């Protein structure tokens, strides 16, 4: 069976090379590091097994088959049969929902999900979003184990993480590493706020689980930087983004991206240091937009969104784009040195830039 391996060109010259849409983690944790469980029954050895044992059943292997439309040199099209393998994460055992990557199931006409106990289930595609590379599957609910959601906004660079996936179609495999950066963007076209990890790269880990040391799901393993592997730079979609996409797909069947109607930029480093917090500065406001109707003005600094902080312009852009059109959000804004709350009803249209 072939392995899905999608590559996308890096947009920025400083990150020259291809970005592959496949993922795993490596770099074993240091023995005896704080927080690693100790197995006294085996002579006091450090082990991640107590973290993994209850979570591994929630990570599944995915096999797909389908057809892909290809354009020939003379301008005609032809169909190509495809087969591929990837990974997924059960996030709702009662309803049978599985998160994976869009590129894992794109063009698939048949999707099979294999559980850690060996059962193979037919899966249906509930919906998919190419811009975030997230897809939602549904499987029969008998004897499923879900991986609980974590809190990506509390992550820090240097935190230890664990990945579970299906590299090379071999079956469930566990690897580990650390978070090497947060809030990465500019990797592919789309809505990006990647968790970056020091990753040893293997095809087939796409859609698998990135969990923290409490065993909670913090990301969906998605992409690597490099022409083919093992250079130590990999990316995962934070689970708050994946969950927002899933909620819209499950409730509405599609994604309707919101818009404020502003041009925004990152808060300068000097201002971040002075204020002690990051944010996004409004550079212009579109006439008749949701922002204008709510009273937002040029030079307002947005530092909060529905109770969460704002790391910068890209973070605000993503949060707005993943808010369903018609919903209202509470922004925390600094205006002339004073903090105030502004309620904005999200409008339909292209997202902020």
In this prediction, residues 196-213 reach a mean pLDDT of: 81
Same domain, 341 and 281: yes
What is the model's pLDDT at position 111? 95
Does a structural domain hold residue 157? Answer: yes
Facing residues of 63 across strands?
A: 85, 112
Please pick, among 87, 102, 106, 133, the residue that the annotation labels catalytic.
133
Q: Measured between alpha carbons, how far is 323 from 116 in angstroms, rounded to an integer?
A: 34
3-state SS class at 248: helix
Q: Which residues contact 52 (CB under 8 A, 6 or more apart)?
A: 162, 164, 174, 215
pLDDT band at 47 (very low <50, low <70, confident <90, very high): confident
Pick from 252, 281, 299: which residue ends a domain?
A: 252
Residue 197 confidence (pLDDT) above 50: yes
Q: Measured between alpha carbons, how far is 272 from 349 in angstroms, rounded to an integer?
A: 30
What is the model's pLDDT at position 193? 79
Does a structural domain hold residue 320? Answer: yes
CATH number, domain of 289, equals 2.30.42.10
Same domain, 163 and 239: yes
What is the model's pLDDT at position 349? 60
Q: For residue 128, indicate whether it is catalytic.
A: no
What's the Cα-to-Cα distance from 110 to each of 79, 104, 249, 307, rounded to whole Å? Answer: 16, 12, 20, 41
What is the model's pLDDT at position 188? 61
Same domain, 32 and 170: yes
What is the model's pLDDT at position 284? 92
Same domain, 162 and 235: yes
Does a structural domain hold residue 169? Answer: yes
* Residue in the block written with tokens 């529905």: 306
pLDDT tens digits, residue range 216-234? 999 999 877 665 555 667 8
Same domain, 113 and 240: no
Please pick, among 206, 212, 300, 315, the residue that the annotation labels catalytic.
206
Q: For residue 206, indicate whether it is catalytic.
A: yes
Please pick, among 87, 102, 103, 315, the residue that the annotation labels catalytic.
103
Same domain, 272 and 314: yes
What is the model's pLDDT at position 199? 58
3-state SS class at 315: helix
pLDDT tens digits, residue range 73-94? 777 777 788 888 889 999 999 9
* Single pTM value for the model: 0.76
Mean confidence (pLDDT) of the chain:
81
Domain count, the chain: 3
3-state SS class at 169: helix
CATH number, domain of 17, equals 2.40.10.10
Which residue range(s) make up the domain with 237? 6-36+148-252
In this prediction, residues 38-54 reach a mean pLDDT of: 84
Q: For residue 133, indicate whether it is catalytic.
A: yes
């Amino acid at each position: 069976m072939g392995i899905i391996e999608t590559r996308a060109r890096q947009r920025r010259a400083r990150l020259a090379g291809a970005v592959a849409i496949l993922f795993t983690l490596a770099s074993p944790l240091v023995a005896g590091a704080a927080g690693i469980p100790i197995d006294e029954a085996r002579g006091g050895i450090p082990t991640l097994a107590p973290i993994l044992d209850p979570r591994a059943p929630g990570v599944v292997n995915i096999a797909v088959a389908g057809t892909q439309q290809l354009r020939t040199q003379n301008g005609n099209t032809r169909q190509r049969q495809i087969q591929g393998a990837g990974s997924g994460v059960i996030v709702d055992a009662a309803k049978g929902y599985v998160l994976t990557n869009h590129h894992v199931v794109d063009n698939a006409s048949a999707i099979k999900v294999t559980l850690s106990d060996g059962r193979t289930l037919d899966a249906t595609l509930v919906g998919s979003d190419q811009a975030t590379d997230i897809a939602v599957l549904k499987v029969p609910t008998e004897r499923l184990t879900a991986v609980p959601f974590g809190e990506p906004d509390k992550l820090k660079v240097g935190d230890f993480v664990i990945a579970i996936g299906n590299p090379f179609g071999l079956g469930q495999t566990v690897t580990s590493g650390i978070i090497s950066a947060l809030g990465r963007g500019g990797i592919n076209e789309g809505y990006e706020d990647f968790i970056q990890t020091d990753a040893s790269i293997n095809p087939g880990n796409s859609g698998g689980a990135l969990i923290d040391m409490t065993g909670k799901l913090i990301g969906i393993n998605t992409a690597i930087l490099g022409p083919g592997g093992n250079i130590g730079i990999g990316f995962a979609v934070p689970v708050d983004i994946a969950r927002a996409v899933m909620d819209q797909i499950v409730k509405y069947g599609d994604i309707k991206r919101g818009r404020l109607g502003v041009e925004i930029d990152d808060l300068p480093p000097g201002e971040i240091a002075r204020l002690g917090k990051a944010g996004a500065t409004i550079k212009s406001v579109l006439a008749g937009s949701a922002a204008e109707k709510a009273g937002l003005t040029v030079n307002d600094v947005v530092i909060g969104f529905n109770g969460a902080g704002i790391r910068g312009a890209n973070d605000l852009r993503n949060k707005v784009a993943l808010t369903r059109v018609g919903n209202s959000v509470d922004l925390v804004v600094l205006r002339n040195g004073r903090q105030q709350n502004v309620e904005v009803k999200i409008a339909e249209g292209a997202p902020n830039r």
